[in-house]
C-alpha cells in the first residue's frame, strides 16, 4: 500500500519539479492530486507518464490524504497548511513560514533526518532555504570530524530562486541588449540582472544584512548546531538555474584538505569534482537536473590555523527545494508513517 500525495502549487517551477522527482524516484504513490489557484483550474501537468489536471486549492478536501508538498508562498501556506494538517495530512512546506517555529522541524535528510520525528506537534515539516540546504549538506560531514567554529559564505544565486517572472526578466533583458528599442527595464529586481550581479536578495534588515543572509544564519543553527557562527553575503547572478557558494570554514581542530576531500567523497548527497586544472570543477550549468550537491576547489586556508575553502554548487529547484521536500517525504514514510 502506497501513499496519497498532494502537490500544492503544481504549476510553478518547484511544484513541477516535485512531480518530476516523485516520479523519477518511484515514490510509492497510490493516488496523487495536483493543486493550484482557481485561475489554473484544469491546467494539465505531468507526473511521469500520466497527465494530471489541476484542482482548486480553495475547495480541496485534504481528509484521507497522507502527505501534502506545499510549493506556494507564505501567504497561501498560512491559509491552507493548517487546514491540511488539521485534516490529518502531513504538510512538507517549502515556504519560509514555519522554518523558525520551534514546534516545526526544519529538515535536510542528509544532515538531521531524525528531526522528522517532531512533525507530530503541528503535522508540519519545513523545508529550508535553497542556499542553506546545499551548504549544510557540505558542512555536516566536516563538522562531525573537526567541529566548525565559523563560516563565511558568499552565494551566487540563480534567478529561478525568484520564480518564473525573474527567469523571463533575465531572458528578455538579455535579448533586449542586442535589439535597439527592445530594452527591458528592471521589474522583478531593483537593478538590471542581465550581464550584472545584484548583492541584494530579499528585504534589508536593520543591521544592513538582507533577510536571505539572515535565513542562512538562523537555519544553519537550527539544522546543525546553534554554536556555529556564520556570516553570509547573498548575491543574485544572471544564471537561470543553479546556486553556487564560496564557503570559508574555520574549525576547532585541524582538518587536512586531503582528509576533507575523502570525507566529502563518502558523504551522502555529495559528489566531489576537484581537479586542479582548467575545467576541473563544477559550474551551475552542469548541475541542472542533478540530485547531487557538487563540491570543488577544496583547499587549505593558510590565513587561519584550522581553515578550509570549498566551492559548492547545486540545482536550487531540486536539492534547494523540490528534491529536499521529496527526500523528507521518504524519511517520513520510512521512520513514521511506514506505508509503501
Summarised one tens digit per residue, pLDDT across range 150-183 is 999 999 999 999 999 999 999 999 999 999 999 9
Band (pLDDT 50/70/90 cuts) for residue 118 is very high
Does residue 243 carry a catalytic annotation?
yes
The 10s digit of each residue's pLDDT in 67-114 is 999 999 999 999 999 999 999 999 999 999 999 999 999 999 999 999
The average confidence (pLDDT) of the chain is 97
pLDDT of residue 202 exceeding 90:
yes
pLDDT of residue 340 exceeding 80:
no
* 38-49: average pLDDT: 92
pLDDT of residue 39 exceeding 90:
no
The 10s digit of each residue's pLDDT in 219-232 is 999 999 999 999 99
Q: What is the 3-state secondary structure (H, E, C) of 191-252?
A: CCCCCCCECCCCCECCCCCEHHHHHHHHHHHHHCCCCCEEEEEEEECCCCCCEEEEEEEEEC
pLDDT on residue 339 = 82
The residue from 54, 89, 243, 312 that is catalytic is 243
pLDDT on residue 338 = 85
Of 1, 2, 27, 3, whose CA–CA distance to 322 is shortest?
27
Does residue 143 carry a catalytic annotation?
no
Band (pLDDT 50/70/90 cuts) for residue 26 is very high
The set of residues, in sequence order, having a beta carbon less than 8 Å from that of 22 and lying 6+ positions away, is 5, 7, 29, 32, 47, 326
pLDDT on residue 34 = 97
pLDDT of residue 127 exceeding 90:
yes
The residue from 130, 234, 287, 312 that is catalytic is 130
pLDDT of residue 211 exceeding 80:
yes
Amino acid at each position: 500500500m502506497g501513499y496519497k500525495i498532494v502537490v500544492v502549487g503544481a504549476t510553478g517551477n518547484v511544484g513541477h519539479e516535485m512531480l518530476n522527482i516523485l516520479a523519477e524516484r518511484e515514490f510509492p504513490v497510490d493516488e496523487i492530486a495536483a493543486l493550484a489557484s482557481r485561475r489554473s483550474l484544469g491546467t494539465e501537468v505531468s507526473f511521469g507518464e500520466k497527465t494530471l489536471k489541476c484542482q482548486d486549492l480553495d475547495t480541496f478536501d485534504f481528509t484521507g490524504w497522507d502527505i501534502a508538498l506545499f510549493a506556494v508562498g507564505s501567504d497561501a501556506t498560512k491559509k491552507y497548511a493548517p487546514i491540511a494538517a488539521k485534516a490529518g495530512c502531513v504538510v512538507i512546506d517549502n515556504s519560509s513560514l514555519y522554518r523558525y517555529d520551534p514546534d516545526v522541524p526544519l529538515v535536510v535528510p542528509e544532515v538531521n533526518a531524525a528531526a522528522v520525528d517532531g512533525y507530530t506537534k503541528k503535522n508540519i515539516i519545513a523545508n529550508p532555504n535553497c542556499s542553506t540546504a546545499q551548504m549544510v549538506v557540505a558542512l555536516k560531514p566536516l563538522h562531525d570530524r573537526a567541529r566548525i567554529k565559523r563560516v563565511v559564505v558568499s552565494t551566487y544565486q540563480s534567478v529561478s530562486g525568484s520564480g518564473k517572472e525573474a527567469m523571463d526578466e533575465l531572458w528578455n533583458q538579455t535579448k533586449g541588449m542586442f535589439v535597439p528599442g527592445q530594452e527591458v527595464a528592471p521589474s522583478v529586481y531593483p537593478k538590471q540582472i542581465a550581464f550584472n550581479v545584484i548583492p541584494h536578495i530579499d528585504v534589508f534588515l536593520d543591521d544592513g544584512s538582507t533577510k536571505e543572509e539572515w535565513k542562512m544564519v538562523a537555519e544553519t543553527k537550527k539544522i546543525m548546531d546553534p554554536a556555529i557562527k556564520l556570516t553570509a553575503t547573498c548575491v543574485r547572478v544572471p544564471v537561470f538555474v543553479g546556486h553556487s557558494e564560496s564557503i570559508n570554514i574555520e574549525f576547532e581542530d585541524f582538518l587536512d584538505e586531503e582528509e576533507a576531500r575523502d570525507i566529502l567523497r563518502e558523504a551522502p548527497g555529495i559528489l566531489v569534482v576537484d581537479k586542479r586544472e582548467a575545467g576541473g570543477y563544477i559550474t551551475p550549468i552542469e548541475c541542472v537536473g542533478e540530485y547531487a550537491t557538487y563540491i570543488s576547489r577544496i583547499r587549505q586556508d593558510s590565513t587561519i590555523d584550522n581553515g578550509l575553502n570549498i566551492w559548492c554548487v547545486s540545482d536550487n529547484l531540486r536539492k534547494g527545494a523540490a528534491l529536499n521536500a521529496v527526500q523528507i517525504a521518504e524519511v517520513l514514510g520510512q521512520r513514521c508513517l511506514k506505508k509503501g
